[in-house]
Each structure stands twice: as C-alpha cells, then as structure tokens.
C-alpha cells in the first residue's frame, strides 16, 4: 500500500537526520501517538480505528491519559493478532466481516504479505499526505518533503494545545500539511512566526462555529515546491480517505514547467511584476485538481488560469477599458484623489493582472518562439484595430468582421475566410502584416491556433485600452 512505502521513506530519512534507529512501532509510540492522539484534541480521525471507537460515555476530548493509553494498546493487540483491515492499517481494504461504512483505496490485488512493522508505517505515511482544495490529498514519496511536513506536526499540535485557540478544529492534519508545506517553501516563510501571522496568510477560516484550516489550492503548492525543486519532476499519489475513499492515481508534477511560466512572466512584465503579482497568479493559475488528474500530469496545461476558457470558441471579448471616474459636485480634492486611487487599484487587480496572467499562459502554450510571438500578436492587434477604426460613420461592417467573424472563428478555415475579407479592403500599409498572418495561421496546428486566437483577443483588447 502507498502509505506503507511513504512511511518507510520518511522513517529512513528521519533516523538518518536525527541519528536514531527507531523501528516503525517505536516511532509510532514515541512520536506519532504522542503528537496525534495523546491529547484532548486529535490531529487525525482514522475512521473505525481503536482511537475513535468509544466505550459508552466516552468522548475523545474527555479521555484521560490511561484511557488514551488503553486505545493504543488495543491497536497494538489487533496488529499483533494479524488484523489488516482499513481500521487497523491506513489505506488498506475495508473489513468485509466488520461491514464498516467505508470503501477501499490505495489497494492492490497482488497477494502481498504485510508484517506488523508495515502496519505502523501505514499510519505514519497517512499522516504525511498534503490536503489540497477539491477534497483530495497528495502523497510525495520524497524525503526532504516528508521531513518538512513532519516539522509542521508539532506546530499544529502546539496550536491545538493553546488555551487561547480553543476554537481551532482538530482532526485536520491533511489540510494542515498542505498549508504548512506550501508555507515552508514560500517566500513568506519566517523562522519565527505565530498563529496571527499564519492567519494573515490565509491558513485559517474563522466563523461563528470555530476556526478551521483552509485547504490550499494545488497550484499554489505547486509553484512553491517548484522554487525548491526547480528542475525536478516528482511523482505524486492523489487520493482521499474518509467515509468514501477515492484513488485518482500516480501523476508527474513537472516543477520545471512552473518555473518556466514564472520566468516568462518576468520577461514580459518585469521583475517587480513577478513579485507584486505573485499572490494573484498563484491563485488564478490551475484548473480543478480532479480535471488536472484527468489530463494525466501536472504542468503548464493544468495551470490554465481560472476564467480563461470562456474566451475559447466564442465571440466573447475581454474588456480592458480604463475606469471612468466622474467627480461628484460635493467631493473635496482629497476625496476625489482617493476615489481615483481606489479605481486605479481595482482596475489593476481586476483587469491588468488577469491580462498578464492570461497572456503569459497562452504564450507558454504556443509551441513557436514565445518572445517573438508576444511582439507579433501585439503588431497584429494594432493592425486589426486600425482596420476596424476605418469603418465609415454609422457603419459597423468592419466591426462585425473583426468581432463576429475573425475573433469568433472556431476553425482555421473560418478565420482565414474572415481574414480574406479584411485583406480585400485593407490599406497598403497593413497588407504585408495580414498576408504574413494568413501564412502563419495556415501552418499552425489546430491546438496552437485555438490559443493564438484567444491571445489575439487579449492583445486587441489591450490595444483598445491604450488607444
């Protein structure tokens, strides 16, 4: 089972780092049990396990030390007796005899024999998964990553034991691991931090019922891991364990592609933009993790920005028009300046940053020379804008050709037909530009053509803005 292998990788790295020789059972007793279960609030809620099976009148938060120790001994006894169902070995098949209300995940039909030590490893491995938004978790079988997650266990435990944080929810180790792993590899990481600083970074969600740990978006975790491992590809196992278990499978996480995207963003918009826009693009990049799994790998394609798909195969056009601010009659100079400042900030966040994010990704998806293509699409957008501006007063002919035909094209054939009409009445100064565009589109594959048209839409919208 995957949790066994992950637990084994971690324990080997742990023993090496701390110069110990703990067996899986010894580590489970001295570290895992003490951190996860020997407190009023658990870090983990392993379904149907001895730790959550309460005798009459028992409640987890009211157990004393002796009662918690008894549950540990019950687990030891079941493992020694050879029990290997999902309530004893995390990630294993559910017991057909016990008829537990759960399904099986991370399993194989190979007739493998598991020693007692392996069962403890399954627990250790289960506590090292990183939860992400979308209800799934990722297991990376990489020593450096696993050791970082382990460091976070103690932080979560210290918060749960803090009397001032009594509303903080327990049993959320996977959600915590995802946030913690994202944090320790991010530029936000500080050696000295407190609950408030993590809260400001979006670790937690507060409401009337309490404080819960927000799940991090997989793309944010992807970007921050890529900074630590910029040239590597990790294999991640994507799954979920609960009342209903899900096994998505093994997927390559191609971190070098995230770094290429950031590098290209920097070339297009500068070093400052990469730093200032980081929180925005980390949140906007990335389709739903289930959809990403369907695509078979995590990389440039699965980093498709949120909200971009609606511009494909439609006549929908982006709006990048500048905000219009009308000064109120009773507004003072100071009040008006504040209104202008707020409007500019909103324009920057809601229009310019998404434009940068969309353009960078679209260029990254086009297989031709990306820097050359960036300059080229700006040139084409300018020529199309000038063509449309030549509409006679009261006429919308050219506007319809551009917006309803050219940019709405669902195929190269339709695009070239619209382009032919443009060429037939374009000025001599733009004729070479459009002829070259015709030749380029003709040589594009269908996938690149789809990205190219949407990229052209955004450059055209930006040309409208600056004109």
In a domain, 268, yes or no: no
Distance separating alpha carbons of residues 436 and 140, to the nearest angstrom: 48
| φ/ψ (deg, to 5) at 37 | -125, -15
Shared-domain flag, residues 124 and 199 = yes
Q: For 77-135, how does the pLDDT look when each residue is reduced to its tens digit (9 = 90+)?
A: 999 988 777 788 887 766 544 444 445 554 555 555 678 899 999 999 999 999 999 99
* Residue 73: predicted pLDDT: 95
Shared-domain flag, residues 230 and 315 = no
Provide the number of structural domains found in the chain: 2
Residue 211 pairs with which residues in a beta bridge? 168, 206
- Asked whether residue 404 carries a pLDDT value surpassing 70, the answer given is yes
Shared-domain flag, residues 210 and 339 = no
Please spell the DSSP secondary structure of 53-110, one letter per residue.
Answer: -PPTT--GGG--HHHHHHHHHHHHHHHHTT--STTTSTTSPPPTTTT-S----S--SS
Q: Is 236 helix (H, G, I), strand (E, B) or coil?
A: strand
* Residue 369: predicted pLDDT: 65
Q: Closest Cα partner for 356 from 448, 287, 447, 264?
A: 264
Q: For 14-51, how does the pLDDT look when each residue is reduced to its tens digit (9 = 90+)?
A: 999 999 999 999 999 999 999 999 999 999 999 888 99
In a domain, 226, yes or no: yes
Q: Is residue 322 within 8 Å of residue 347, measured between CB atoms?
A: yes
- Structure tokens belonging to residue 346: 């909103």
Residue 238 pairs with which residues in a beta bridge? 138, 249
Shared-domain flag, residues 136 and 204 = yes
Q: Is residue 399 within 8 Å of residue 391, measured between CB atoms?
A: yes
Helix (H) or strand (E) holding 291: helix 289-295
State the chain's mean pLDDT as an integer: 91
In a domain, 110, yes or no: yes
**230, 252, 274 - which closes a domain:** 252
Q: How far is CA 394 from the centre of its chain?
A: 48
In a domain, 275, yes or no: no
Q: For 268-297, how does the pLDDT look when each residue is reduced to its tens digit (9 = 90+)?
A: 999 999 989 998 999 999 999 999 999 999
pTM of the model: 0.89
Distance separating alpha carbons of residues 15 and 256, to the nearest angstrom: 30
Distance separating alpha carbons of residues 135 and 245, to the nearest angstrom: 11
In a domain, 286, yes or no: no
Shared-domain flag, residues 179 and 87 = yes
CA distances from 265 to 39, 158, 277, 294 (A): 47, 39, 10, 27
Q: What is the mean pLDDT of residues 421-435?
A: 88
Q: Is residue 77 within 8 Å of residue 38, measured between CB atoms?
A: no
Q: If you search the block for the tokens 């770094």, which residue do you land on?
A: 259
Domain assignment of residue 400, given as a range: 307-466
As a whole number of Å, the end-to-end CA separation of the chain is 61
Q: For 319-366, how does the pLDDT look when each residue is reduced to its tens digit (9 = 90+)?
A: 999 999 988 888 999 999 999 999 999 999 999 999 999 999 999 998
In a domain, 271, yes or no: no
Q: Closest Cα partner for 385 from 313, 308, 457, 312?
A: 457
Q: What is the mean pLDDT of residues 383-408?
A: 92
Count of all residues that appear for the chain in the document: 467
Shared-domain flag, residues 134 and 209 = yes
| φ/ψ (deg, to 5) at 324 | -105, 120
In a domain, 224, yes or no: yes
Distance separating alpha carbons of residues 152 and 159, to the nearest angstrom: 11
Shared-domain flag, residues 98 and 239 = yes
- Structure tokens belonging to residue 465: 């803005």
CA distances from 25 to 13, 47, 340 (A): 16, 20, 64
Shared-domain flag, residues 231 and 331 = no
| φ/ψ (deg, to 5) at 67 | -70, -40
**212, 227, 252 - which closes a domain:** 252
Q: Which class for 153: exposed (0-12), middle (13-18), buried (19 or more C-beta within 10 A)?
A: buried
CA distances from 26 to 23, 31, 73, 197 (A): 5, 8, 13, 35
CA distances from 159 to 34, 38, 43, 46, 378 (A): 15, 15, 11, 21, 52
Shared-domain flag, residues 241 and 131 = yes
Least confidently predicted of 158-172, 389-403, 445-459: 389-403
Shared-domain flag, residues 247 and 315 = no
In a domain, 411, yes or no: yes
Distance separating alpha carbons of residues 321 and 70, to the nearest angstrom: 68
Distance separating alpha carbons of residues 194 and 200, to the nearest angstrom: 10
Q: If you search the block for the tokens 């008006």, which residue do you land on?
A: 336
Q: Is residue 361 within 8 Å of residue 281, measured between CB atoms?
A: no
Q: If you search the block for the tokens 């009445």, which residue do you land on?
A: 425
Contacts of residue 352, Cβ cutoff 8 Å, sequence gap at least 6? 320
| φ/ψ (deg, to 5) at 251 | -140, 140
* Residue 112: predicted pLDDT: 58
Shared-domain flag, residues 245 and 311 = no
**232, 252, 272 - which closes a domain:** 252
Shared-domain flag, residues 239 and 314 = no
> What band does 205 get if pLDDT is binned at 50, 70 and 90?
very high
Distance separating alpha carbons of residues 234 and 226, to the nearest angstrom: 10
């Amino acid at each position: 089972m995957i949790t066994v292998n992950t637990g084994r990788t971690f324990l080997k790295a742990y023993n090496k780092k701390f110069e110990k020789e703990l067996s899986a059972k010894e580590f489970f007793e001295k570290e895992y049990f003490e951190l996860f279960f020997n407190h009023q609030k658990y870090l983990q809620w392993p379904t149907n396990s001895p730790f959550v099976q309460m005798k009459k009148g028992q409640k987890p938060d009211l157990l004393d030390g002796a009662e918690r120790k008894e549950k540990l001994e019950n687990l030891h006894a079941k493992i020694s007796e050879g029990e290997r169902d999902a309530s004893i070995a995390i990630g294993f098949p559910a017991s057909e005899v016990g008829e537990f209300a759960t399904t099986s995940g991370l399993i194989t039909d190979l007739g493998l024999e598991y020693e007692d030590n392996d069962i403890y490893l399954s627990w250790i491995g289960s506590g090292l998964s990183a939860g992400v938004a979308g209800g799934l978790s990722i297991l990376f079988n990489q020593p450096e990553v696993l050791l970082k997650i382990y460091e976070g266990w103690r932080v979560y435990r210290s918060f749960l034991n803090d009397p001032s944080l009594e509303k903080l929810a327990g049993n959320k180790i996977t959600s915590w691991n995802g946030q913690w792993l994202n944090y320790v590899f991010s530029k936000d990481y500080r050696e000295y931090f407190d609950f408030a600083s993590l809260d400001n970074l979006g670790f937690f969600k507060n409401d009337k019922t309490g404080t819960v740990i927000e799940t991090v978006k997989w793309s944010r975790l992807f970007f921050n891991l890529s900074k630590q491992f910029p040239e590597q590809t990790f294999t991640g196992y994507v799954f979920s364990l609960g009342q209903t278990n899900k096994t998505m499978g093994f997927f390559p996480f191609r971190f070098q592609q995230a770094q290429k995207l950031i590098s290209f963003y920097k070339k297009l918009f500068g070093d400052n933009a990469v730093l200032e826009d980081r929180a925005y693009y980390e949140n906007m990049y990335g389709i739903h993790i289930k959809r990403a799994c369907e695509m078979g790998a995590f990389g440039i394609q699965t980093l498709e920005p949120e909200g971009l798909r609606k511009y494909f195969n439609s006549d929908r056009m982006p709006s990048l028009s500048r905000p219009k601010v009308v000064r109120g009659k009773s507004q003072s100079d100071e009040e008006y300046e504040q209104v202008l400042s707020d409007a500019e900030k909103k324009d920057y966040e809601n229009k310019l940053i998404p434009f940068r994010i969309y353009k960078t990704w679209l260029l990254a998806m086009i297989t031709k020379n990306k820097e050359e293509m960036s300059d080229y699409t700006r040139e084409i957008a300018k020529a199309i804008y000038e063509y449309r501006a030549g509409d006679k007063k009261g006429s919308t002919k050219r506007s319809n050709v551009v917006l309803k035909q050219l940019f709405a094209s669902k195929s190269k054939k339709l695009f070239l037909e619209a382009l032919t009409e443009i060429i037939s009445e374009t000025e001599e100064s733009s004729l070479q530009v459009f002829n070259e565009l015709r030749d380029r589109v003709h040589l594009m594959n269908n996938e690149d053509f789809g990205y190219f048209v949407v990229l052209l839409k955004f450059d055209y919208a930006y040309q409208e803005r600056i004109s």
